[in-house]
Amino acid sequence: MIRQPNFVTQEVVDKAFEYGLAVQMMHIGSYDNEPQSFELMKEFIEDNNLEIATLIHREIYISDARKCEVSKLKTFLRYRVVIKIIFNCIKKATYNVALL
């Protein structure tokens, strides 16, 4: 096993696994062009019977914008997703409980 730093506790490991199902892609280029990458991700999500779970997305910056040429910037873009069928069942169950 690879030795882990002391700050990597079991709690940190558990938190990493809580994130759940996600769709992500690496965007290469200017941050101004990210909307095109998000559109590709949304097409993939729709085509694979998934649904975006939250309104918030994540961006993980791989390149240092201060040192890297704009056309070579690398950023991971990530949406949390759920399988559409399960998500709709949960929404219906929540709605039915609210009616009681």
Question: What ranges do the domains of the chain cover?
Answer: 20-99
> Which pLDDT tens digit goes with each residue over 58-95?
999 999 999 999 999 999 999 999 998 766 666 655 55
How crowded is residue 41: how many other Cβ atoms within 10 Å of its Cβ? 20
**Token code pair at residue 73:** 């910037």
The answer to whether residue 33 scores a pLDDT higher than 90 is yes
Residue range 20-99, CATH number: 3.20.80.10
- How deeply is 16 buried, as exposed, middle or buried, from its count of CB atoms within 10 A (0-12, 13-18, 19+)? exposed
- Decide: pTM greater than 0.85: no
Phi and psi at 98, nearest 5°, equal: -65, -30
